[in-house]
Amino acid sequence: MRRPAPGVSAEGTFRNSQADASREAGSEMKEFKVFVADRPGELSRVTDALSNAAVNIRAISSEAKHDNSFLRIVTGDVSTTEKALKGTGMKYEVSEIMTLDLVDRPGELAKVARRLSRAGINVHSLYLLSSKNGRTEIAMVVDDIAKATMALK
């Protein structure tokens, strides 16, 4: 059982995905912002490329803006994801993420958001990774992971 980090919540823990010793070396999570056209088949093109490379998607979201559409994808196999996307010629950006393990109850995310806000941290994206046994794991891309880490201690 993980010990909670002070300050996140009475029962929540924070961790940077790259510092999580429970993950295998080379398999830390990152967010891939994959640029796609706003037309049928683009989701299939991206997910087929990842599936064919045996990449498991932990979280995914999309935003369609005609000229600037993209998918945000969190995977746990960064190098294989990069190879799969490069192999298809898709353009993408990679961002570090931080993960939080929170008690699954109203107000826990609000506590985190308040602390980040007070510290001047901008949250660029947010994902629900899992929810079970009264716990919710989320991932966030923030503008300053070190400063966010301090704000959540």
pLDDT by residue (tens digit) across 29-51? 899 999 999 999 999 999 999 99
Kindly report the average pLDDT of the chain as a whole number: 84
pTM across the whole model: 0.79
**Superfamily grouping for domain 30-95:** VC0802-like (3.30.2130.10)
Q: Domain map of the chain by residue range?
A: 13-17+97-151, 30-95
- Predicted confidence (pLDDT) per residue in 59-81, tens digit: 999 998 877 899 999 998 999 99
CB distance 139 to 31 below 8 Å: yes
Q: Residue 153 above 90 pLDDT? A: no
In the chain, what percentage of residues exceed pLDDT 90? 75
Q: Give me the architecture of the 13-17+97-151 domain, per CATH.
A: 2-Layer Sandwich (3.30)
Q: Select from 23, 22, 21, 3 the least CA-distant residue to 13.
A: 3
